[in-house]
Structure 1
Amino acid sequence: MRPVYVTAAAQCLPGAPVGNDEMADHIGRLSPQAERLGRLTLRQNRIRSRHYAIRPDGSSDWTVAKLAGQAVRSLIADAGIDARRVGFLASATTQNDMLVPGLASGVHAESGLPPIEVASLQSVCASSMMALKTAALQVAAEEHQAAIVVGAEFSSRYFRPHHYRGTATVGDNDTLPGDAEFLRWTLSDGAAGLLIEDRPAERGLSLRIDWISLRSFADRFAPCMTGGAVREADGSLTPWSLHPDPAAAGAFQLRQDVEALHRMLPVWLGEMMRLVDAGKIEPDAVDWFLCHFSAHSLREEMVTLATRAGVMIPEDRWFTNIYDKGNVGAAAIFLMIDDLMRSGTLKPGQRILCAVPESGQCIMAYAAMTVVGEDR
């Protein structure tokens, strides 16, 4: 198969950056006790600002398809590519606007692209890498000359008080269980996309995609991050569609089992060690490490484990934007790639390693890229 390249990137972050003191105005206020738990979460994740597609009154002009569609429009304009050259569109998200149809159809409708082949990839953060690999393989197999991959999230719409009040999950003091509160103060909104082509950009730098690896460990783990299910007394999950009163039971709330998340860290690192042993990853040869993580506390644990295992990439080679742009789920890795490509720090020949762990039911994805083209 032929080589493929990331030749352009773009993003859509709705509204002005929202600081920590303004968060509760956008996601809504449950109680002073809940806000105290929120401040504890912010100390753990160390996110200083993020973007929300929802207004303080709960209204919005956005959908996840519109966010992704705007990112695609910006990508096409920035790249200066004839839209007719793009033959494939892959979308990634945690939660679509609707149950049916798929997100890729909604993004296509918002993108300004002509008739095109589409694929909708839905998981959590790693859905971005699923979409990227799908698009890269389409171009590598000579099915298309160019493809667009886009990740988008609109998490804030699920964090408003009316999604919690009146449900079985709210405590007597109007607080939420920790597995719901953590996500409420961590996730944010936005979209980002990449243009994948069968040749490097005519001017400037491109990223040659060397390989993408993604593995699920759902054979070892129960679901960790969930939405659309009710956890029963015995620990089992009942899908919302099979529950007699899913809304009252809190089935539509996003939840994350933080203890299970920490149990996944050694597995994620083990996948890196497997790739090191296979000769895919050489830690000392990585110039830029783009690692998605949901909180600074998790980053610290990753550093500790990687150092003990002897596969640590020095932190001065890590590139992240989570502290200023928040955790944007399926869009996060594309936002990092876009910001890195625009940073002016890339040089031809540099090697980039992307890492996306997913807590949904334990997935670990890596991608290696090499900077090519003219340094301008």
Structure 2
Amino acid sequence: MQEVYITKIAKFLPNELISNDEMEQYLGLINGKPSKSRRIVLRNNGIQGRYYAITKEGKSTHTNAQMVSLAIRMLFAEHPEDIKSVELLCCGTSTPDQLMPSHAVMVHGNLPESSSIEVVSPSGVCCSGMHAFKYAYLSVLSGDKQKAVCTGSERVSPLLKADTFDAEAEKIELLNNDPYIAFEKDFLRWMLSDGAGAFLLENKKSESGISLKVEWVEAISYANVMESCMYMGADKNEDGTLKGYIDHSPAEILDKSLLSIKQDVKLLSENIVKLGFTKLKDILAKRTFNVDDITHFLPHISSYFFEDKIAKILDENEISIPKEKWFTNLRTKGNIGSGSIYIMCEELFNSGKLVKGEKILLAVPESSRFSYVFCLLTVA
């Protein structure tokens, strides 16, 4: 087995930072009326800025694949020719630009200066970027590859625009704006952001600057016991099962706004923290790792609302992590789904604050059907 190091991290955030008060200028008004839930959601999630790959007129400025390719090029900004030595490209996202071809081959198509290599597209939601990372990590660890690039990215803004909901706006109005229904449909519009992050993985440390040695990566799914919580391209039945878009008529797809992202908020709040962060205790025990040795804790959270809930669960499981060790940039970058953990790592990695020997714990929960990925890194 080889050792595996993250030697470079880069990001791409489209256009300019968008404040809370500017959001509806980009996303529009559903049924011509300001959202009733926007201020409530923003107050709870603590996000103050985010990035959209669209203009105020709704015109796309970048595809998802373009944003990823720009982040990857940033990895090789000093030596562009080094991109030819990459042997593997793994790209995770919740929001590919199309169903076929796969997201990663579209990214590869935007990098004509690279070589003809193995390309992998893990599907999923927030964990898809970490699954891409784990595939790349295992490939280098096993000696199958010497150098790999993995990415996490999202382009959700087109799905959040008002016209995505227009077909059912009248139905929502007929329901007298029932608070729960309005919240379920409107909730994620004020949570999500666009962007891309990329890691370069190698079997040796960087010759200049720091690297992050990958100690281990652990992933787990609770889909065997939990129903779907966040979904797109489907309708949820009363028994908790999903009826996919492929079993709906074109008219039903529009009428039920199946291309919008929906979330069962009650199911989310009852389970997302409890399941994964209770399991973390078992993972640390399996890996014989003492939680006190963590220097930096990077939890991917969709909202600061969950921060104290995570801390409480960690306390209850006797794996407390002091808040001064926590690091997140949700407030200034927004929730970029599968790209968030990459963009957090990029900011910390390039901050100049890391010291060799420090331990970094990454935690990525996914509410889609309750999946989690945890990873331990050592500054080298």
Could you say which TM-score interval applies, normalised by the shorter chain? over 0.9
2:359 matched residue in structure 1: 351
Distance apart, 1:181 and its partner CA: 1.4
Pick closer, same or farther for the CA change 1:79–1:7 going to 2, 3 Å. farther
1:270 matched residue in structure 2: 278
2:246 matched residue in structure 1: 241
Distance apart, 1:9 and its partner CA: 0.6
1:304 aligns with 2:312: yes
1:11 aligns with 2:16: no
Normalising by the residue count of structure 2, what TM-score does the alignment of the two structures yield?
Answer: 0.94
Pick closer, same or farther for the CA change 1:54–1:85 going to 2, 3 Å. same
How big is each residue's C-alpha offset from its partner over 1:237-296, in whole Å with a ceiling of 9 and x where there is no partner? Answer: 210000122221121110111111123221111211111322444211000101100001
1:255 aligns with 2:289: no
CA distance in structure 2 between the partners assigned to 1:121 and 1:26 by the alignment: 30
Distance apart, 1:354 and its partner CA: 0.3
Contact in 2 for aligned 1:9/1:338 (Cα 8 Å): yes
The 5 A counterparts of 1:3-82 are: 3-30=3-30, 34-78=34-78, 82=82
CA distance in structure 2 between the partners assigned to 1:132 and 1:78 by the alignment: 23
Distance apart, 1:51 and its partner CA: 0.6
CA distance in structure 2 between the partners assigned to 1:326 and 1:122 by the alignment: 22
2:140 matched residue in structure 1: 139
Pick closer, same or farther for the CA change 1:78–1:288 going to 2, 3 Å. farther
Percent identical residues: 32
Deviates more, 1:103-112 or 1:171-180: 171-180
Deviates more, 1:354-363 or 1:230-239: 230-239
Normalising by the residue count of structure 1, what TM-score does the alignment of the two structures yield?
Answer: 0.95
The 5 A counterparts of 1:151-300 are: 151-167=152-168, 170-172=171-173, 177-244=182-249, 245-264=252-271, 265-300=273-308
3-state SS of 1:84 partner:
helix
3-state SS of 2:52 partner:
coil
CA distance in structure 2 between the partners assigned to 1:242 and 1:347 by the alignment: 54
How big is each residue's C-alpha offset from its partner over 1:22-46, in whole Å with a ceiling of 9 and x where there is no partner? Answer: 0111111225865231110001100
Counterpart code for 1:92 = G
CA distance in structure 2 between the partners assigned to 1:280 and 1:168 by the alignment: 53
How big is each residue's C-alpha offset from its partner over 1:147-197, in whole Å with a ceiling of 9 and x where there is no partner? Answer: 000111001110111110112785116786322311110000000100000
Pick closer, same or farther for the CA change 1:235–1:276 going to 2, 3 Å. closer
3-state SS of 1:36 partner:
coil
CA distance in structure 1 between the partners assigned to 2:296 and 2:39 by the alignment: 31
How big is each residue's C-alpha offset from its partner over 1:95-115, in whole Å with a ceiling of 9 and x where there is no partner? Answer: 211110100001001133221
1:129 aligns with 2:130: yes
Pick closer, same or farther for the CA change 1:170–1:56 going to 2, 3 Å. farther
1:91 matched residue in structure 2: 91
Deviates more, 1:26-35 or 1:6-15: 26-35
RMSD: 1.7
CA distance in structure 2 between the partners assigned to 1:80 and 1:347 by the alignment: 28
How many aligned residue pairs are there?
372
Pick closer, same or farther for the CA change 1:219–1:233 going to 2, 3 Å. closer
- Unaligned residue ranges in structure 2 (runs of 5+): none
How big is each residue's C-alpha offset from its partner over 1:218-243, in whole Å with a ceiling of 9 and x where there is no partner? Answer: 01111111000012355432100001
